[in-house]
Structure 1
């Protein structure tokens, strides 16, 4: 492990010196260019226009956020579970996290953390994002399985090659930014070089931020924890972060063939989590991504293989109590050093798919996928110097939360597109998926029992022994079916309707987290940010979602002046995995006195329905003052657990965004209002917080020259204090391992921030 760490640091240090690293590699690469020998005829295949929205103006957005998930907030179907500064979890129509298939440059990535602190979108910086697609309606089976909410597809910049006879194409961009609220500052660098057949691109980014401040005091000022610093009444604890990302891309093209290799490296020294009891104290990841795309006289072929490795660590950050007493939780003498938690995840995948032109009308899309996932989650002993090596509350063993967790997926799919005429299009899809899961034997901190020991792991009468004796090998045979039809009567209207049956198997933590008699351990297995403790359930079955969606899209013939899109949707989920009282699944969990709950998970049924509306209208143009547009979107959502008659957790209340946009030559402006209704429909079993409604105002302006761009934004202009409906429980300070942090406060949003960014291009 130490050898790997030294090697990784040397790689990062080399990349951080692009004036040395990049030119030397580029020079070496371009000395030799080997032409490919494959031949094919160029064919422009008809594209499948799925229900998706492409985001624009990523450059300005990346000045205002370092969280890639935040780029999705202008989509009416999307909201966010707030987490760390670069690790928010996107939500599509009330379904989040592993219920969404997220593809980053074609890779299906999996979060490797008991709190899901490293979600897929955290592995690509906003500055490296060229396009995002949100498929929130009827998602084609070719866009991924093992998910029930939809698909988010994120791509970095496509390769660019020099034109014939024009020599090398050299491009570069550097961006720096500052955000006043949390003193966030960072730099993004991108440079590329290409000839007619080969290209290479490097993208690097670094950002560092302090805790952010709310729009007013929401708690008493004071010491954050014993032996810790001071937090003001408006300072939101455990929200500081630092992140560094590096990406190298190589490409080789010949006629209609493209071969690419992408390398991604991430190093997050720390990232506070305001709604978790632990903080990220290290996240190192490498992604290796090799892909091929080719066009033939019969259609298109795409192949990809990838591997991702994450080494993740958690501890108590600067705002949470680190030293605990050896006599009792939180009491002096303070001689027990925190609680180290470590995770290693490894994901390997392979994808092969092709588009076959059956006729001018029909296209058959077929493919196969394989994904292999391995997870180890262990907590090294934490003991006072005088008790090292003896049986204590957290020692002398390493606590194995997940030991050699396995989750392998084998998929095959077929999809038929038919363009019946100029007005009618249909799509039918079928995917078969086999998910195999298993986990190794576990143990507690010691074999003598007690508060954290759990006694002999070989004895089936103990908690770890019962888990070890159980059948942990699980196989799910899942089926996805989609049917979509689109009718375009004329150049000003499009109507869509569809049905989908999508299936998702539980993740590793949902099935294999085993501790149910100790509150502290249960607190650490929390994927939801609600402050409660959780234990998994070996008997969980896959979720099966049935979704019906219709959509009407009206617009002017040139799609330049106005549009209105209305999408009602309904989802019924059979086997919905939701929180339940432990006794409901035959477990006896520890009782609590801090206002939070200890819970387990079980299959129930749920329904979600809602309405998305978005629109745009040209107000004026050619007036001597440029062009003015008004934009709006609205989202209504309702979720109910049919089994318990409880509300579903973290359902975004009615919300809308209204904006006035102005474009005058190279100068653009936008003023926006975000309106969120009060949240009163909350989940009782989790003791979810109610929140009041609010309205926020933002202003953005930018001016672009040929080789430079200046961006300025003011967010939450009136510095309003508000609480995020999906923010979870405030756990940003105090003795979060003990019982002194009690339930009662939700997470406030960020107060006013003035953001500025400068971009230079060559």
Structure 2
């Protein structure tokens, strides 16, 4: 179902729900609610679009974090994996990392950081967000492969005008937060008529180390710029579009990692067409390229900087070429869709010592992955039951080059590199996905059920990481990992059931879910004698401070739980919203809990908006998490309750002022999925979970012209 939080830069309330309805295209006029398959969180300053017709709705606000993953985590079943100011990830129903498909403006791409310092949402500044689309539970096969849900961050878009005359428009937003002395400014300016559109987008964000009750989290400052252009041409049959963006992340701290960001310089290019070729025949084509250039080190921001002997500067590149095309035969509610897509990714990672030119080694040497897929979807009905049935097949090929090492690299890594060079260094998999989703629209209640088989092929990191390092796609747990060429794909069997209730002023949407995952990939002890250094891998790992490395292996897992959201309008001026999530993750092959699963959590918000001004409050709470992984040495966490207040005032139909207080009672808390601190000169102890931000005020202005 499509859920819209119209109004301010970010709605205070987690969701605003409409009545259920049938799935439809975004370009078509909504029937009553939108798409039962997708949650859409609108976080734009206002849906100004064409200023003549759009109005500024009553603001419902919280402070915008720099990390868009924190906004996506507000979805039912969501949680934030906190790895620094710009490197968070969305955990969805107990799964995160590459199991959750991430896109920006519909474009899929390979991240550049070997430890996911730049997960997909890193490239979507919250100050520029128009909306976040999150697939409910199971992503449709047309969105590509992926084990869990899918998230797509849509940045501000210049719309077409409604008349033949040329109109100019602009949207602007600026925010200040005291807790990290940060500011963010951004916006979109453009011109358009009914046939063509042209827009320029840009943002600037900068923040210092954030404060928490008891001190300052050193090494959490951040800095990022984004700018780009977008264009579109619309004829009778459809629209051609072209967009380019440049994202530049400057020195930004990552306390859970051994290194900090020095830069990410990333270029996005995308073009495509969507339109009708004939009556009830629609073509959708998209081509894209993303180039990531990255440097991280333990010298620029890390306090204290590492001594010369252990100084490290790691260079990483990633290039992605993607394409997809589909044909839809029929209407939005009754159709057959067939299509195909491809994704070509190349990665390279070289570790160096900036004080020793002879020390360098290719931790990921010319990794290449090629995926080609095809899918088919049927949208129809059997009596009163609407359904969508889809299947896809993908073939993935992966390989690695031979790592190069400098003359100063010691013998241990040389032995591992030679053994890796003598191995096959290639793998291929053919995977099959199947999704069946059914629902029965009613005047008040829409029951729904989903059955699916979803597959995730191991990443090139999980298979070809020959050198023991902390690279783990953002687990940030201080462990050292090594790859495993023998990994098999993860296969998930999924069942979900729930209903959407819309009864006047009340909406309520609970969902029960179960995921049985065969060959789940997780770090396990390298051999049967952990702590006994009797292999080259363990010797190299011990040299790096961890004599107990982990190897990625296939295990068996299951995840089950329930999540929900609701909204109740108590009169014309008062509304209450909320979300609640509970997920349980267990190993099936041994008696243990699954690693890094969020505890039960709750969000409750209320807003009073009698006119041009509004007042709001939001409570965020999490329970203790004692169901932790013994095999991975995971520590339990304590529960917490945090309260925030906000207010806003509309100066006019086009300008709005907002302000609020975060963590009103200055509560000390440590979210369970926060990374562990690695910065020595910090008020956070080494190895402790990073705490949440303390009390602070924020102010924001939003305008559209």
For the criterion TM > 0.5, the same-fold answer is yes
Residue 500 (structure 1) aligned with residue 456 (structure 2): no
1:379 — aligned with what?
A: 351
2:102 — aligned with what?
A: 102
Say if 1:530 and 1:686, in contact at 8 Å, map to a contact too: no
Which stretch has the larger CA shift, 123-132 or 542-551? Answer: 123-132
Per-residue deviation at 1:361? 7.0
Say if 1:511 and 1:538, in contact at 8 Å, map to a contact too: yes
1:64 — aligned with what?
A: 64
Say if 1:553 and 1:563, in contact at 8 Å, map to a contact too: yes
Residue 653 (structure 1) aligned with residue 612 (structure 2): no
Per-residue deviation at 1:642? 1.2
Residues 294/719 of structure 1: CA separation in 2 closer, same or farther (3 Å cut): same
Higher relative contact order (CA 8 A, sep 6+): 2
1:398 — aligned with what?
A: 360
1:471 — aligned with what?
A: 424
2:327 — aligned with what?
A: 354
Consecutive unaligned residues of structure 1, counting only runs of 5 or more, are: 1-41, 218-233, 330-337, 389-394, 456-461, 517-521, 622-626, 736-740
Per-residue deviation at 1:525? 5.4
Mapped partners of 1:596, 1:126: distance in 2 = 40
Output one character per residue of 1:63-98: Cα deviation in whole Å (capped at 9) or x when no partner: 521211122232121111101212211111111111
Mapped partners of 1:45, 1:553: distance in 2 = 17
Residues 713/759 of structure 1: CA separation in 2 closer, same or farther (3 Å cut): same
Residues 400/744 of structure 1: CA separation in 2 closer, same or farther (3 Å cut): closer
Residue 484 (structure 1) aligned with residue 437 (structure 2): yes
Per-residue deviation at 1:382? 3.7
Say if 1:596 and 1:742, in contact at 8 Å, map to a contact too: no
Output one character per residue of 1:631-662: Cα deviation in whole Å (capped at 9) or x when no partner: 22211110011123221122110111111122
Per-residue deviation at 1:471? 0.7
1:187 — aligned with what?
A: 185
Say if 2:43 and 2:130, in contact at 8 Å, map to a contact too: no
Residues 43/153 of structure 1: CA separation in 2 closer, same or farther (3 Å cut): closer
1:571 — aligned with what?
A: 515
Residue 55 (structure 1) aligned with residue 41 (structure 2): yes
Say if 1:61 and 1:71, in contact at 8 Å, map to a contact too: no
1:123 — aligned with what?
A: 123
Does the residue aligned with 1:138 lie in a helix, a strand or coil? coil
Say if 1:188 and 1:206, in contact at 8 Å, map to a contact too: yes
Does the residue aligned with 1:396 lie in a helix, a strand or coil? strand
1:201 — aligned with what?
A: 199
Which stretch has the larger CA shift, 62-71 or 294-303? Answer: 62-71
Say if 1:526 and 1:532, in contact at 8 Å, map to a contact too: no
After superposition, where does 1:502-521 map in structure 2 within 5 Å? 502-516=454-468
Residues 418/615 of structure 1: CA separation in 2 closer, same or farther (3 Å cut): same
After superposition, where does 1:567-606 map in structure 2 within 5 Å? 567-583=511-527, 588-590=537-539, 597-606=548-557
Does the residue aligned with 1:250 lie in a helix, a strand or coil? strand
Per-residue deviation at 1:720? 0.7
Say if 1:701 and 1:713, in contact at 8 Å, map to a contact too: yes
Consecutive unaligned residues of structure 2, counting only runs of 5 or more, are: 1-26, 46-59, 530-534
Say if 2:131 and 2:155, in contact at 8 Å, map to a contact too: yes
Aligned mate of 1:299, from 281, 293, 297: 281
Residues 315/169 of structure 1: CA separation in 2 closer, same or farther (3 Å cut): same
After superposition, where does 1:280-429 map in structure 2 within 5 Å? 280-295=261-276, 296-316=278-298, 317-324=300-307, 326=309, 338-357=311-330, 362-383=334-355, 396-421=358-383, 423-429=384-390
State the TM-score, normalized to the length of structure 1.
Answer: 0.82
Mapped partners of 2:184, 2:391: distance in 1 = 45
Per-residue deviation at 1:682? 1.2
Residue 439 (structure 1) aligned with residue 400 (structure 2): yes
Mapped partners of 1:536, 1:399: distance in 2 = 16
Does the residue aligned with 2:121 lie in a helix, a strand or coil? helix
Say if 1:286 and 1:308, in contact at 8 Å, map to a contact too: yes
Does the residue aligned with 1:648 lie in a helix, a strand or coil? coil
Say if 1:494 and 1:553, in contact at 8 Å, map to a contact too: yes
1:537 — aligned with what?
A: 484
Mapped partners of 1:180, 1:80: distance in 2 = 22
Does the residue aligned with 2:251 lie in a helix, a strand or coil? strand
Mapped partners of 1:432, 1:562: distance in 2 = 41
Residues 472/537 of structure 1: CA separation in 2 closer, same or farther (3 Å cut): same
Say if 1:52 and 1:133, in contact at 8 Å, map to a contact too: yes
Per-residue deviation at 1:379? 1.6
Does the residue aligned with 2:421 lie in a helix, a strand or coil? helix
Say if 1:611 and 1:635, in contact at 8 Å, map to a contact too: yes
Say if 2:43 and 2:129, in contact at 8 Å, map to a contact too: no
Aligned length: 653
Mapped partners of 1:48, 1:615: distance in 2 = 17
Which structure: larger Rg? 1
Residue 156 (structure 1) aligned with residue 108 (structure 2): no
Say if 2:109 and 2:322, in contact at 8 Å, map to a contact too: no
2:691 — aligned with what?
A: 748
Does the residue aligned with 2:122 lie in a helix, a strand or coil? helix
Residues 630/548 of structure 1: CA separation in 2 closer, same or farther (3 Å cut): same
Mapped partners of 1:62, 1:535: distance in 2 = 41
Aligned mate of 2:391, from 410, 430, 451: 430
